[in-house]
Structure 1
Amino acid sequence: MKFSPKVTRRVKKSTWHPSQVIEDLPDGGCIFTVRVSSTLEMTPWIRGWGGRCGGASA
Structure 2
Amino acid sequence: MSGLERRYRRLLRWFPWEHRERHEEEMLSVLMAAARLSSAAMVAVRMWITGGSGWGAPCAG
The answer to whether the superposition gives a TM-score over 0.5 is no
Structure with the higher fraction of residues in strand conformation: 1
Structure with the higher fraction of residues in helix conformation: 2
Scaled by the length of structure 1, the TM-score of the pair is 0.25
Scaled by the length of structure 2, the TM-score of the pair is 0.25
Greater RCO (Cα-Cα under 8 Å, separation 6 or more):
1
| Bigger-Rg structure (1/2) | 2
